[in-house]
Structure 1
Amino acid sequence: MEGPGAPGVPWKRHIVRQLRQRDRTQKALFLELVPAYNRLLEKAELLARISEKLQPEPNDATPATHQGPWEEESEPDSDQVPSPTTLRMKWQEEEEGLRLVCGEMAYQVVEKRAALGALESTLEERQSRLAALEARVAQLQEARAQQTRHLDVQRALNVAQRAAYEGLRAQAGLQEAALRRHEEEARDLLEWLVQRKARAAAERNLRNERHERAKQARMSLELKKAAKRTVSISESPKTVGDGIREMAETVTLAAEPLSLETEAGEKWKRPFSFKKRRGHSVGGAPEQRYQSIPVCVAVQPPTQVQDVLNAHLSEVNAVCFGPNSSLLATGGADRFIHLWNVVGGRLEANQTLEGAGGSITSVDFDPSGSQILAATYNQAAQLWKVGEAQSKETLSGHTDKVTAAKFKLTRHQAVTGSRDRTVKEWDLGRAYCSRTINVLSYCNDVVCGDHVIISGHNDQKIRFWDSRGPCCTQVIPVQGRVTSLNLSHDQLHLLSCSRDNTLKVIDLRVSNIRQVFRADGFKCGSDWTKAVFSPDRSYALAGSWDGALYVWDVDTGKLEGSLRGPHCIQVAERSLGWWLQDTCAWLPFLLLHRAGAEPVWPQCCSCLRRRHEERLRGDKGQWLLEPWKFHPWSRLVQRPSQYLGSSCFRRVD
Structure 2
Amino acid sequence: MAERGGGAWKRDIVRLLQRRDRRSVQAYNKLLEKSYLLGARKLQVESLPLQTELPARSVLDSAQMLECLKRSYEEQIVELQRINEELTCEMIERSTTLKAKKTALEEQRSRLASVSAQFYDLEATRQQLKGQVDELSRQNAAVKAECDNLREHYWLQDMEFRRAAERGLELLKSIMRMKVEAAEHRNEKNERVKQGRLSKELKKATRRPIGTEREPEERKEEEQKMSGAAVPEQEVREKPRRRPFRSASVTSMALSRYVDAFKGLFDFRLKRGNSHGGPSEDHYCCLPSCVATCLPSLVSDTKEAHLSEINAVTFSPNSGLVATGGTDRLVRLWSVAGGRLEHVQTLEGATGGITSLDFDPSGSHLLGASYNNVTQLWRIGDSKCREILTGHADKVTAAKFRSIRHQAVTGSRDRTVKEWDLCKGRCSRTINVFSYCNDIACCDTVIISGHHDKMIRFWDSRGPGCTQVIPEEGRVTSLSISPDHMQLLSCSRDNTLKVIDLRTHNVRQVFRAEGFKCGSDWTKAAFSPDTSYALVGSADGTLFLWNTETGSLERTLAAVHGSPVNAVAWAPSGLYIVSVDQCKKLALWT
Q: Aligned partner of 1:385: which letter?
A: R
Partner SS, residue 500 of structure 1: coil
- Structure 1 position 443, deviation (Å): 0.1
Alpha-carbon distance in structure 2 between the residues aligned to 1:423 and 1:306: 38
Partner of 1:347: 341
Q: Aligned partner of 2:357: which letter?
A: V
Output the aligned Cα RMSD.
1.4
* Counterpart among 428, 432, 436 of residue 434 in structure 1: 428
Alpha-carbon distance in structure 1 between the residues aligned to 2:506 and 2:423: 36
Alpha-carbon distance in structure 2 between the residues aligned to 1:292 and 1:439: 32
Alpha-carbon distance in structure 1 between the residues aligned to 2:508 and 2:346: 41
- Given that 2:499 and 2:509 are in contact with CA atoms closer than 8 Å, whether structure 1 keeps it comes out as yes
Q: Aligned partner of 1:601: which letter?
A: W
* 2:570 paired with 1:599: no
- Given that 1:368 and 1:411 are in contact with CA atoms closer than 8 Å, whether structure 2 keeps it comes out as no
Q: Aligned partner of 1:345: which letter?
A: G
* Counterpart among 465, 481, 486 of residue 480 in structure 2: 486
* 2:500 paired with 1:500: no
- Structure 1 position 520, deviation (Å): 0.7
- Structure 1 position 404, deviation (Å): 0.2
Runs (4 or more) in structure 1 with deviation over 6 Å come to none
Partner of 2:364: 370
Q: Aligned partner of 1:395: which letter?
A: L
- The TM-score normalised by the length of structure 1 is 0.46
Partner of 1:575: 567
Partner SS, residue 569 of structure 2: coil
Partner SS, residue 309 of structure 1: strand
Alpha-carbon distance in structure 2 between the residues aligned to 1:382 and 1:348: 24
Alpha-carbon distance in structure 2 between the residues aligned to 1:424 and 1:432: 10
Partner of 1:535: 529
Q: Aligned partner of 1:529: which letter?
A: T
Greater share of residues in helix: 2
Partner of 1:451: 445
Partner of 1:518: 512
Alpha-carbon distance in structure 2 between the residues aligned to 1:341 and 1:566: 21
For structure 2, the residue ranges without an aligned partner over 5 or more in a row are 1-284
Alpha-carbon distance in structure 2 between the residues aligned to 1:295 and 1:472: 31
Alpha-carbon distance in structure 2 between the residues aligned to 1:301 and 1:545: 22
Q: Aligned partner of 1:576: which letter?
A: V
Q: Number of residue pairs matched?
A: 306
- Given that 2:524 and 2:567 are in contact with CA atoms closer than 8 Å, whether structure 1 keeps it comes out as yes
- The TM-score normalised by the length of structure 2 is 0.51
* 2:401 paired with 1:413: no
Larger Rg: 1
Partner SS, residue 580 of structure 2: coil
Partner SS, residue 459 of structure 1: coil
User: How do 1:242-391 residues align onto structure 2 when only pairs under 5 Å count?
Assistant: 294-391=288-385
Alpha-carbon distance in structure 1 between the residues aligned to 2:287 and 2:415: 39
- Given that 2:402 and 2:442 are in contact with CA atoms closer than 8 Å, whether structure 1 keeps it comes out as yes
- Change beyond 3 A, Cα 1:295–1:405: closer
- Given that 1:294 and 1:580 are in contact with CA atoms closer than 8 Å, whether structure 2 keeps it comes out as no
Alpha-carbon distance in structure 1 between the residues aligned to 2:548 and 2:588: 22
- Structure 1 position 292, deviation (Å): 11
* 2:472 paired with 1:472: no
- Change beyond 3 A, Cα 1:556–1:324: same
Partner SS, residue 307 of structure 1: strand
Q: Aligned partner of 1:372: which letter?
A: L
* Counterpart among 455, 460, 463 of residue 461 in structure 1: 455
For structure 1, the residue ranges without an aligned partner over 5 or more in a row are 1-290, 603-653
- Structure 1 position 411, deviation (Å): 3.4
Alpha-carbon distance in structure 2 between the residues aligned to 1:293 and 1:392: 25
- Given that 2:289 and 2:529 are in contact with CA atoms closer than 8 Å, whether structure 1 keeps it comes out as no
Alpha-carbon distance in structure 2 between the residues aligned to 1:526 and 1:552: 20
- Given that 2:540 and 2:562 are in contact with CA atoms closer than 8 Å, whether structure 1 keeps it comes out as yes
CA deviation profile, 1:297-338 (whole Å, cap 9, x unmatched): 312431111111121111111111111111111111111111
Greater RCO, 1 or 2 (C-alpha within 8 Å, sep 6+): 1
Alpha-carbon distance in structure 2 between the residues aligned to 1:386 and 1:411: 16
Q: Percent identity?
A: 62
CA deviation profile, 1:561-607 (whole Å, cap 9, x unmatched): 211032122xx2221111044xxx41x221111221211111xxxxx
Alpha-carbon distance in structure 1 between the residues aligned to 2:527 and 2:479: 10
CA deviation profile, 1:88-128 (whole Å, cap 9, x unmatched): xxxxxxxxxxxxxxxxxxxxxxxxxxxxxxxxxxxxxxxxx
* 2:554 paired with 1:560: yes
- Given that 1:320 and 1:328 are in contact with CA atoms closer than 8 Å, whether structure 2 keeps it comes out as yes
- Structure 1 position 293, deviation (Å): 6.0
Alpha-carbon distance in structure 2 between the residues aligned to 1:303 and 1:501: 23
- Given that 1:362 and 1:403 are in contact with CA atoms closer than 8 Å, whether structure 2 keeps it comes out as yes
Alpha-carbon distance in structure 2 between the residues aligned to 1:408 and 1:293: 15
Q: Aligned partner of 1:553: which letter?
A: N
- Given that 1:301 and 1:551 are in contact with CA atoms closer than 8 Å, whether structure 2 keeps it comes out as no
Alpha-carbon distance in structure 2 between the residues aligned to 1:519 and 1:309: 28
- Structure 1 position 536, deviation (Å): 0.5
